[in-house]
Amino acid sequence: MAKKNDLVIRAAKGEQVERTPVWLMRQAGRVLPEYREVRAKMGGFKQLVETPEFACEVTIQPVDILGVDAAIIFSDILVIPEAMGLPYQMIEAKGPWFEKTIKTVDDIAKLKIAEPEDLHYVMDAIKLTKKELNGRVPLIGFAGAPWTIFSYMIEGSGSKTFSKAKKFLYTQPELAHVLLQKITDSTINYLKGQIAAGADMLQLFDSWAGVLSPAQYDEFALKYISQICDAVSEVPFTVFAKDAHFARKKMGQLSCDTIGLDWTMDIAESRALIGSNKTLQGNMDPCLLYSDFETIKKETKKMLNQFGAHRHIANLGHGLYPDLEVDKVKCFIDTIQEFRF
Amino acid sequence: MAKKNDLVIRAAKGEQVERTPVWLMRQAGRVLPEYREVRAKMGGFKQLVETPEFACEVTIQPVDILGVDAAIIFSDILVIPEAMGLPYQMIEAKGPWFEKTIKTVDDIAKLKIAEPEDLHYVMDAIKLTKKELNGRVPLIGFAGAPWTIFSYMIEGSGSKTFSKAKKFLYTQPELAHVLLQKITDSTINYLKGQIAAGADMLQLFDSWAGVLSPAQYDEFALKYISQICDAVSEVPFTVFAKDAHFARKKMGQLSCDTIGLDWTMDIAESRALIGSNKTLQGNMDPCLLYSDFETIKKETKKMLNQFGAHRHIANLGHGLYPDLEVDKVKCFIDTIQEFRF
């Protein structure tokens, strides 16, 4: 058995680490030619997500090729609305699309609370990946945060303003809460299932956090994130709410271990707002990886120094962009792994 | 001559006002049926922008129909790249599109510094509108901030990540500065021309501020905004950098009068960061105007109380969405104009 690398787990718990660990959002993805090969063979993104052998294969690719300190199960946040009764398609170069969206109280009543068995293919992929990883690095499970999932269920696709979803919050707040609670209950079941299947850590992604006002974010997003953090306490838990700069102080009060930062969030300011009891994850601008090797090294070291030696898990402030070069991505990772305070 | 309403000007200067003034970004636009009528007659957005009589007509529509306390000249931030030598088309339901974009040092060398006469149709529209307004309310002129204009000139259109423009900053920073300086010089000429034509106030829109890191925003955006604020000091000046939450403290140091806030920026926090010497403009979530009249009134009053009686110009935190109902927009405006501290 390979030597166990548990740096990410220890950093999340606030324990001493020999060096800062690193993994990357979307590390299993189009940036790797090996991923594109498997995906071409499978015919599409959803087939990949739904076939445990292939999900396992692409989950492990970045561990082998990039040498990251954690794997994250290859899946999609939209498996939850699907398991609740709203199927979706992933349209090439366009993104997700739901034929049916939520409009009325009846639409919400018809949704089921998802159970782990509704998402058996994710559980199987986690089990298989854990076996194949053989303890090399921790395996991260994940889900979308309720507000982001809600947005997709109302909008039916991505959006610049998410004005349909926000209109729903303003015009039918009670009904919004009913739907958000159903999503939350489904998400808790789902994440508990992921732990049972072997996930060593969990992350919640609130991709559309940044379109809400601070007051709406408290009422319609943080409230449910808080429920999830409280209900799922068996493994280290990370919350990443992109663009929710206004919520950092309150996120410091969540019962989670790690808060993800995007690159617009100043590191020292975020530490002051969030407090010293949380590990911070992030937060390099993915576009840095377009620059030359020297600039990547310089900026990466600057970031490491700003975060300091403890309570930091290095990552980007967003997912990898598909057109980044693997060598540049590797340079970012190597710089972090070779750095010593 | 109608009674002169100079509330917006006085609020910008920090003078006492009897009540909080209000205008709305995109108040001259698709939300008004009267606008859609003129636009249909003209055949398109650019024809409207380039025909002073019609630009004047739609600029005054919201003063007549909505009763706002200021008019803003109907135009487009992309007239600047066009005047510099990069023409664009406005494609229905898609947005702006540039056939030619900036890639090399030669592309930049070929660009001219725009002069007011290159944009004579804007100057004519301002002159005509001033005459037609006859002092009823102040007329606001505007331009895009250099980073936002730069982004369009590199990307050639809107973008989710602006990764081409950001890649340019990381890979060719010196060249980026050459282009940003050319845009800045053109913008200063343009804004001075607008003052000469009669603009009573000016606003700079940095629509894509939020995709940059705090450090890049300092280097590639604030530096040029600061130059413009210093060069154009004849009339009250507003800077609105959407999503630039991280730059609020530094924006408090600009030599402008007013800072625009979006709805993700907490009002008390923004006031503390920006200081007491600036007027704040904003910052209601446009989606509030989807809700019922009672909620609109309640939330609007809450906003007014949070900003306080002085140094506030009420507005939305972004432009009006085209599918909002005029009655709801009117309710927002009326609530502000009827409110007394």
DSSP calls for B269-325: HHHHHH-TTSEEEEEE-GGGGGS-HHHHHHHHHHHHHHH-SSSEEEEESSPPPTTS-
Give A-chain residues touching B169 at CB under 8 angstroms.
287
Confidence band of B3 (pLDDT split at 50, 70, 90):
low
What Å distances lie between residue B210 and A41, B80, B206, B221, B254, CA to CA?
38, 21, 9, 11, 18
Angle formed by the axes of helices A293-307 and A326-338, nearest 10°: 40
Which pLDDT score is estimated for A3? Answer: 56
Distance separating alpha carbons of residues B326 and B341, to the nearest angstrom: 26
Are A290 and B265 a contacting pair at CB < 8 A?
A: no
| Whole-number CA gyration radius for chain B | 19
Facing residue for A213 by CB, picked from B167, B210, B263: B263
End-to-end CA distance of chain B: 30
Give A-chain residues touching B306 at CB under 8 angstroms.
none
Facing residue for B295 by CB, picked from A170, A216, A264: A170
Are A265 and B246 a contacting pair at CB < 8 A?
A: yes
Which pLDDT score is estimated for B59? Answer: 98
Residues of A near B (CB-CB distance < 8 A)?
161, 163, 166-167, 169-171, 210, 212-214, 216, 243, 245-246, 263-266, 269, 285-288, 290-292, 295, 321, 323
Distance separating alpha carbons of residues B205 and B145, to the nearest angstrom: 5
Facing residue for A321 by CB, picked from B163, B287, B292: B163
Neighbours of B50 (CB within 10 A): 20
Which pLDDT score is estimated for B321? Answer: 95
Q: Parallel, antiparallel, or unpaired for β B258-260 and B237-241?
A: parallel
Are B170 and A288 a contacting pair at CB < 8 A?
A: yes
Which pLDDT score is estimated for B9? Answer: 98
Which pLDDT score is estimated for A1? Answer: 44
Of the candidate CATH numbers 3.20.20.210, 3.40.50.300, 3.90.550.10, 3.20.20.70, the domain formed by A7-338 belongs to: 3.20.20.210
Lowest-confidence segment of B18-27, B66-75, B115-124, B154-163 by average pLDDT:
B154-163
Name the active-site residue from B26, B136, B271, B311.
B26
Q: Parallel, antiparallel, or unpaired for β A312-316 and A88-91?
A: unpaired
> Which pTM was predicted?
0.95
Which pLDDT score is estimated for B2? Answer: 47
Considering only alpha carbons, which residue of chain A is nearest residue B163? A287
End-to-end CA distance of chain A: 30
Concerning whether B290 is annotated as a catalytic residue, the answer is no
Facing residue for B290 by CB, picked from A170, A210, A243: A170
Are B287 and A321 a contacting pair at CB < 8 A?
A: no
Q: Which residues contact A266 (CB under 8 A, 6 or more apart)?
A: B214, B246
Are A170 and B212 a contacting pair at CB < 8 A?
A: no
Give B-chain residues touching A166 at CB under 8 angstroms.
285, 287, 290
pLDDT tens per residue, range B230-280: 999 999 999 999 999 999 999 999 999 999 999 999 999 999 999 999 999
3-state secondary structure of A280: strand
Q: List B315's β-bridge partners, or say none.
A: B283
Q: Which residues contact B127 (CB under 8 A, 6 or more apart)?
A: B52, B197, B198
Which pLDDT score is estimated for B92? Answer: 84
Q: Tens of pLDDT along chain A (341 residues)?
A: 445 899 999 999 999 999 999 999 999 999 999 999 999 998 889 999 999 999 999 999 999 999 999 999 999 999 999 999 999 999 988 899 999 999 999 999 999 999 999 999 999 999 999 999 999 999 999 999 999 999 999 999 999 889 999 999 999 999 999 999 999 999 999 999 999 999 999 999 999 999 999 999 999 999 999 999 999 999 999 999 999 999 999 999 999 999 999 999 999 999 999 999 999 999 999 999 999 999 999 999 999 999 999 999 999 999 999 999 999 999 999 999 999 99
**pLDDT, mean of residues B83-100:** 94
Tell whether the model's pLDDT for residue B162 goes beyond 90. Answer: yes
Name the active-site residue from B19, B30, B107, B121.
B30
pLDDT tens per residue, range B302-317: 999 999 999 999 999 9
Tokens of residue B317, six digits: 């935190």
Q: Which residues contact B40 (CB under 8 A, 6 or more apart)?
A: none
Concerning whether B39 is annotated as a catalytic residue, the answer is yes
Distance separating alpha carbons of residues B182 and B25, to the nearest angstrom: 27
Closest of B272, B278, B215, B279 to residue B247, by C-alpha:
B215
Query: Is B306:B267 a contact under the CB 8 Å cutoff?
Result: yes
Distance separating alpha carbons of residues A314 and B307, to the nearest angstrom: 38
Neighbours of A247 (CB within 10 A): 25
Are A290 and B167 a contacting pair at CB < 8 A?
A: yes
Which pLDDT score is estimated for A267? Answer: 98
| Whole-number CA gyration radius for chain A | 19
Which pLDDT score is estimated for B213? Answer: 97
Concerning whether B248 is annotated as a catalytic residue, the answer is no
**pLDDT, mean of residues B168-186:** 97
**pLDDT, mean of residues B29-53:** 94
Tokens of residue A2, six digits: 């390979």
The rounded percent of chain B whose pLDDT value lies above 70 is: 99
Give chain B's mean pLDDT: 96
Burial A51-80 (b: 16+ CB within 10 A, else e): bbebbbbbbbbbbebbebbbbbbbbbbbbb
Are A285 and B321 a contacting pair at CB < 8 A?
A: no
Which pLDDT score is estimated for A208? Answer: 97
Are B290 and A166 a contacting pair at CB < 8 A?
A: yes
Name the amino acid, one letter, at B220: F
CA quadruple B81, B84, B90, B94: dihedral, nearest 10? -30
